[in-house]
Structure 1
């Protein structure tokens, strides 16, 4: 049951619904049994197959005594009003019983639907919130398609297999308990067969379903791989076509798809076996009871007469359908177990960037950012080691070095996308771990090398960090970013939808929108991952002008790829293999004839 602790946690919030659901199902089953119990013995009296009872029998809490009391009441009705009136009374009783059975069945479903939707809403919400709270490093280790699969396919699997089975897993066991209790009440001797045979049925069904969980997990993994290939295909369509790689990519997709098809076929074969197998086993048990129970009745050893035995058999036949439904639900739950485990892997993933219990608020940036003996390692790989750096307010610091030297990681430590492994980072003399995450990030903006935009309007993308901004402020930010002119040329202006990831815009236009977004936020600290490195000459000039406008009177950390753009930085930090190997301004570093000089020479040769 621990596997479903997450579902039970959400269900606990609907205790009233759960109690009413049990009550309504219990009443539905009781009225169903009442309608069945009346038919066989009462029709025998009505049609003269059994003598009417003249004397009122002595009442005892036994099945035969209860039946005798009911037979006596019906006999009185026949004697006083005639058989037609008695038949009408039986019909009315059955109709009323069936009406209330179905009324309570419907009321039970009315209680179940809000519970089901509540669980799924909470599950999706918690999963999405956890995805937003996980550190950046988590997503570098995970396939995006697999995360999407967990959010969509796995959640749907939980809904249809586990939540969908809730009705069956509550109602049918309740039905089985009441029916078996009634059977034991009718004849304890006959019911001894059930004690032996029903566990055998459960064991057989359990053996067949044992591998479903493993196969379901394999299916969900393959589904995640399919989505990953699809995402890569959509994102890299131009490259795929340019390199005539359609056949290669199609083969990769086809191989995964074929494997998924095989797993799902195997799963469905086992699942579909549940209903016919449970029905066949139920009929075997029924025939055993008919054979041995019939002999006991014929020899007057069962404690039942012929009418009671018929009622016993009718009650037992009502076990078969709940057993079939229960075995199907059990198979589905086995499938859903794998899905919920994959969801819990995300929900239980450690959040390595933890906010302080009573965090301070960084309301303004006044003095400096200091890296004090900072080291950072991811898993067992050291990325940064023994970094000491002070960034004064209003200064521009450039980070340069070869690929993999730790430039982006160093910048990512300031907004706490990662936390340092050793040492500390201080803002205005206070360790950033003492500040709230939101207040730190309120003081900075980031412009990345690849423009990150959303499928929304231009205005919504610019105001992402300031959703309350008015149109005048949005337009002013766009003017600073050299974006206003091209925006006004669009048919809908600032209300133009830019498509998936800004696909309706050029590279330079996308980058200027990200700069406008950073300008509108108006933070004192900027982190710039060289935004012009992938642009053409004209777009580069416009974007660089926008960056220069934005950097005025702000503290800037610039990750430099084109060294010509950081000649005027106050200090240039040269990183190599996670260490600072050189530092100084452009002229002083050139005079050292070191690593920076070699980088400049290589770019000038190009």
Structure 2
């Protein structure tokens, strides 16, 4: 339960007012319930004509005896007065109507206490989901190289829903039931302390049995949620790789893999469900045993010579005792539900508590433009702290110049450009803009200086307008159209039925590769950054698309400081300086003509592409 209360402290604080109202309404519900049950005693006495009706009662003032005696005496006094004035039948009707009225108040308060908790439950779940999403957006790219996307989706969907159904729904029970149990228990003590003492001696063993059955549930629930993550990951991989699955005729293979995931998840869920379904029958059986034991002991007391309790009061006692069993059952249900939700919260916390190594400077400096140069000073970097991907890189990029990075796959080109916007942080050396270390800048200011055009055009399931205006607040249609024209995108956009308001599909699936790339270039043009990173922006295009994209890129690169990664050396011939990387080191540098004359590694790459 310690974990549960920690969870409540984390997420329930903004909703304290709902808790207060719920507690008040639950107290009123318990009070009205006890008063309605207390009417059973005079009703039973009237129905069965017990000796209580023959006694003569006089009104007692408060303080003349104990509170219990005063209340009971005056209750019977008014009842006998009603019988004398209206007769037993009419009195029974009055008592019945009053019982109905009290029950109406009780149920109204009960409904209110449950209804007022709904905004709390849904609010907590919304807050958790928002926190997870914000954390996912804030975490560095390196975090997601170690996590499966399907697993993250499962945590935001299945695990968060589990927290709602298991933990926040149990919160209502944990507020309501202690109030009911304490109210009923106080009533039982006042009614008969002997019977209550006997009940207390019997209850702990039953509670121990219930707790023993539920102990393994958290572990089993954690296993079930992990299996669900595997299933979601498999589905996400399938949707992302449908083209390859069909090309390699692997439908059966993938189906069998997914079927295995589903079967494993089903087996795990079965274990949890079977254990959980045992809660109700076990609590029902143990509750019946308790009633039988109390019935035997109470009957013995009534049948004794000096009975401390009469028959009608004993029946009232049994009704209250049976009423206390239901809240105890709800507690047992909560003891089953909460571990499931805590297991899911444990998985969610792996995201929420993940450390972000990209730290904002305590006193960040502001920078609004590039005035002089970008400099990579003796940069070394590794992902795991052991194997260096980059080794002692030194590059100076004057403002307005274009440099190109070439080399085989895995030579560190993309890693090097990812260090500039701080997607990763360097371990050795420093990167400076106009002499200021980028770690001393606000991350927002740093990334606002940089525009990206990647090999894979990353677009969103939205309109042309919103994709081009992405990241630029309050962009006008005129600005978007101007950017699209520079990017050679305006003509094909206007061919669509709704023009700039046309939805482009998931990841731009309704567009060709060249069209997607030109939209991403238009997006970079609208942002108008002083620094531009081109990561193999034309490598996946056909000749005609490459020509159109290259034209758009040349317009985009004008007056900007550009870092271009290229496999096709023909696209970077005009770069001011070319850096050749091999195994994380710069092995050659110079212009295209200078590198050709050196007859080195760049010349070999150039000759291989020429032969190709």
If the TM-score is normalised by the length of the shorter chain, which range does it land in? Answer: over 0.9
Q: CA deviation at 1:597?
A: 2.5
Q: Name the structure 2 match of 1:528.
A: 534
8 Å contact kept, 1:376–1:385: yes
Name which of structure 1's ranges 19-28 and 37-46 shifts more when overlaid on structure 2: 37-46
Distance 1:51 1:479, change over 3 A: closer
Q: CA deviation at 1:74?
A: 1.4
Residues in 2 aligned to 1:248 and 1:536: alpha-carbon distance in whole angstroms: 33
Q: Name the structure 1 match of 2:567.
A: 561
Instruction: Please show how residues 334-413 of structure 1 align to structure 2 within 5 Å.
Output: 334-380=339-385, 381-413=387-419
Distance 1:9 1:515, change over 3 A: same
Distance 1:269 1:477, change over 3 A: same
Q: 2:199 aligned with 1:194, yes or no? A: yes
Instruction: Please show how residues 68-467 of structure 1 align to structure 2 within 5 Å.
Output: 68-299=73-304, 303-380=308-385, 381-467=387-473
Q: Which of 597, 602, 609 is residue 603 of structure 1 equivalent to?
A: 609
Residues in 1 aligned to 2:335 and 2:370: alpha-carbon distance in whole angstroms: 59
Distance 1:57 1:310, change over 3 A: farther
SS of residue matched to 1:51? helix
Q: Name the structure 2 match of 1:28.
A: 29
Distance 1:302 1:546, change over 3 A: farther
1:490-539 alpha-carbon deviations (Å, 9 max, x no partner): 12111111000000001111111101110111111000101111111111
Q: CA deviation at 1:64?
A: 6.3
Structure 1 portions without partners, runs of 5+: none
Distance 1:71 1:516, change over 3 A: same
Q: 2:17 aligned with 1:16, yes or no? A: yes
8 Å contact kept, 1:524–1:554: yes
Q: Name the structure 2 match of 1:486.
A: 492
SS of residue matched to 1:277? helix
Q: 2:608 aligned with 1:576, yes or no? A: no
Name which of structure 1's ranges 440-449 and 68-77 shifts more when overlaid on structure 2: 68-77
Distance 1:19 1:249, change over 3 A: same
Q: Name the structure 2 match of 1:40.
A: 41
8 Å contact kept, 2:46–2:88: no
1:22-78 alpha-carbon deviations (Å, 9 max, x no partner): 010111011011111211344314652223331438764475664344223312332
8 Å contact kept, 1:223–1:260: yes
1:240-283 alpha-carbon deviations (Å, 9 max, x no partner): 11111001100110000011111111111111111111011011
Q: CA deviation at 1:137?
A: 0.8
1:209-230 alpha-carbon deviations (Å, 9 max, x no partner): 2222122212222222222221
SS of residue matched to 2:374? strand
Distance 1:4 1:584, change over 3 A: farther
Name which of structure 1's ranges 110-119 and 490-499 shifts more when overlaid on structure 2: 110-119
8 Å contact kept, 2:57–2:76: no
Name which of structure 1's ranges 451-460 and 79-88 shifts more when overlaid on structure 2: 79-88
Distance 1:382 1:201, change over 3 A: farther
Distance 1:424 1:193, change over 3 A: farther
If the length of structure 1 is used for normalisation, what is the TM-score? 0.96
8 Å contact kept, 2:46–2:92: no
SS of residue matched to 1:179? helix
SS of residue matched to 1:151? helix
Q: Name the structure 2 match of 1:474.
A: 480
Residues in 2 aligned to 1:202 and 1:244: alpha-carbon distance in whole angstroms: 57
Distance 1:385 1:39, change over 3 A: same
8 Å contact kept, 2:451–2:532: yes
Q: Which of 49, 54, 57 is residue 56 of structure 2 equivalent to?
A: 54
Name which of structure 1's ranges 174-183 and 343-352 shifts more when overlaid on structure 2: 174-183
Q: Which of 517, 523, 543 is residue 523 of structure 2 equivalent to?
A: 517
If the length of structure 2 is used for normalisation, what is the TM-score? 0.95
Residues in 1 aligned to 2:596 and 2:144: alpha-carbon distance in whole angstroms: 38
Provide runs of 4+ in structure 1 moved above 6 Å: none
Residues in 2 aligned to 1:576 and 1:478: alpha-carbon distance in whole angstroms: 37
8 Å contact kept, 1:36–1:314: yes
SS of residue matched to 2:11? helix
8 Å contact kept, 2:517–2:549: yes
Name which of structure 1's ranges 119-128 and 37-46 shifts more when overlaid on structure 2: 37-46
SS of residue matched to 2:133? helix
Name which of structure 1's ranges 220-229 and 29-38 shifts more when overlaid on structure 2: 220-229
CA RMSD of aligned residues (A): 1.9
8 Å contact kept, 2:192–2:309: yes
Q: Name the structure 2 match of 1:589.
A: 595
Name which of structure 1's ranges 560-569 and 338-347 shifts more when overlaid on structure 2: 560-569
Residues in 2 aligned to 1:64 and 1:587: alpha-carbon distance in whole angstroms: 110
Residues in 1 aligned to 2:604 and 2:192: alpha-carbon distance in whole angstroms: 96
Structure 2 portions without partners, runs of 5+: none
8 Å contact kept, 2:373–2:399: yes
Residues in 1 aligned to 2:194 and 2:603: alpha-carbon distance in whole angstroms: 98
Q: CA deviation at 1:602?
A: 2.5
8 Å contact kept, 2:11–2:127: yes
8 Å contact kept, 2:44–2:312: no
Residues in 2 aligned to 1:470 and 1:51: alpha-carbon distance in whole angstroms: 87
Distance 1:61 1:371, change over 3 A: farther
8 Å contact kept, 1:460–1:467: no
Distance 1:305 1:371, change over 3 A: same
8 Å contact kept, 2:596–2:603: yes
8 Å contact kept, 2:4–2:338: no
SS of residue matched to 2:301? helix
Tell me the matched-pair count. 606
8 Å contact kept, 2:163–2:345: yes
Residues in 2 aligned to 1:300 and 1:528: alpha-carbon distance in whole angstroms: 99
Q: Name the structure 2 match of 1:501.
A: 507
Q: CA deviation at 1:348?
A: 0.8
8 Å contact kept, 2:210–2:283: yes
8 Å contact kept, 1:457–1:498: yes
